[in-house]
Amino acid sequence: MFCCTDTEIALKKRFEGAYARSKQPVMQAIERQVCGCDYGGNSWTTRKQADALIGLLGLGAATNLIDLGAGTGWPGLYLAEKSACTVTLVDLPEIGLRLAKRRAEEDGLRDRVSIKIADAADLPFAAESFDAVGHSDLLCCLVRKHTVLQECRRIVCKRGRMAFTVISIAPDYRSFLESTGWRLEKLMDLTADYAQSCARQIEADTSRQEQLAELLGASEARERLAGWRSNLSAIRDGLFLRELFVCRPC
């Protein structure tokens, strides 16, 4: 049973709209310019950062990965393709997972990809089911961060790893990890990369305002661009951080 908060329900609806538009040529062109991929991604994870996750999570042919908040499959499908691991994609908006399933079939990954509609705070998997857990900019969207981290700890094997990125204003994830059975192995500050990605986003949107206006409406296209500019300003003022946490079970 899903028990999302009102905020999470509203966010789910927003993502559903974004996923529905993600395969439009203008949106794919923007995504390739900003992050170097065209999966319809819902995070700021770049291709370079995804490549690094293969080593940080120890992914390989014998590894069973779960990607929470997987959306349309970025970076989970990419990690499966590059590392030969198996991956379970988990999210609530069904439309994103349908697109991910289609992409998996197009990329020849059907036998190594599983899809599950589920709440990250109430995962329908047995204890120690996975070797690796990943999520990209998911926790910053959720209210029940502590519960999600507890669930991640429950489903990962004793020698497993978790790696996740998060955008934060007042970072307190160290205490969250300690209280949910995780030991922090590595912490990387990705804020500079985040700022560069946001700058590319502004450049990409600016050069395609006419196409975005046709797709979204002129008002929403302008608001979207203003939002990116406000976001970049906040990053440069030191208000937002983006960090990568790599953890092991205690």
Secondary structure (DSSP) of 134-199: EEES-GGG-S-HHHHHHHHHHHEEEEEEEEEEEEESS--HHHHHHHTTEEEEEEEE-HHHHHHHHH
* Any domain includes 102: yes
As given in the structure block, the two tokens for residue 216 are 């979204």
**CATH number of the domain enclosing 85:** 3.40.50.150
Number of domains forming the structure of the chain: 1
Report pLDDT for 1.
45
- Taking the whole predicted model, whether its pTM rises above 0.75 is answered as yes
- Check the CA dihedral 73-115-51-147 and report its sign: positive
* Any domain includes 57: yes
Report pLDDT for 115.
97
* Any domain includes 1: no
* Any domain includes 91: yes
Averages of pLDDT over each 10 residues, the chain, 250 residues? 58 72 91 94 93 98 97 97 98 92 96 97 97 96 93 97 91 87 96 97 97 95 96 94 96
Question: Which residue(s) pair with 88 in the sheet?
Answer: 66, 114
Report pLDDT for 8.
59
Residue 32 CB-half CA count within 13 A: 8
* Rounded Cα distance, 192 and 142, in Å: 24
> DSSP 3-state assignment of 50?
helix
* Any domain includes 245: yes
Report pLDDT for 215.
94
* Rounded Cα distance, 165 and 234, in Å: 18
User: Which residues are CB-contacts of 16 (< 8 A; sequence separation ≥ 6)?
Assistant: 93, 95, 96
**The domain containing residue 132 runs over which residues?**
6-249
Contact 201, 228 (CB under 8 A): yes
* Any domain includes 10: yes
